A = this chain, B = another copy of it.
């Protein structure tokens, strides 16, 4: 029985755009594990009720159900230790948790402010009202105002927020060192989200992060590069 992943999709079921699901997709590919991805929309709460919570990614591996991209990565590492390591050991795993927290605390909000109105154009019709209401409540502003303000005033600050990754990628090819690790998948998945839902250029062309992203798009047979984009 293949591993099954509930994967956030747009109106186009081939458009997959969750930063967290992309982290899991890359982790699965890193491990060389086949996966059947099921398109899931924000309002499909019933479809993943068996996981005990309401967000994707949700992974089902035989009798095991795991949600939350970090917990899924830890599950894959523990359950498939003979395959390529995501973390390179327990300390590498502990350190990757800070990379994960950094991406979540710093990047997710910064990116949302630059593309959140574009997302509305790709979500499934049944998700439109939910998406607008929930995000406008979060930002206390209309999606149009958030994105306009973001692009007018917050691009430089977002790019600055990537300085830690930029400094690392000037010194080594991957966040994982000589080869990609789950730290790379965290950053890659986070950037794959805006790449799939928007044509807005988040990164300057000469940014080392952009050069790294191009390399990462080619990993695992071009898994990221072949993704459907808006």
Q: Which residues of A contact B (CB under 8 A)?
A: 85, 87-99, 101-102, 104-106, 163-165, 167-168, 171-172, 174-178, 181, 183
Contacts and interface: CB of A to CB of B under 8 A. Distances in A.
Contact of A95 (B92, B101, B171): B92
B91 A85 contact: yes
B167 A101 contact: yes
Copies per complex of this chain: 2
Nearest to A172: B94
Name the prevailing secondary structure of the A interface residues.
helix
B175 A98 contact: yes
Nearest to A98: B168
Contact of A164 (B92, B98, B168, B176): B98
Given A88-B89, A106-B164, A164-B106, A175 B101 contact: no
Contacts of A165: 98, 101
Contacts of A101: 163-165, 167-168
Contacts of A92: 88-89, 91-92, 94-95
A93 to B, nearest CB: 7
Nearest to A94: B177
A90 B178 contact: yes
A69 to B, nearest CB: 14
A90 B177 contact: yes
Nearest to A90: B177
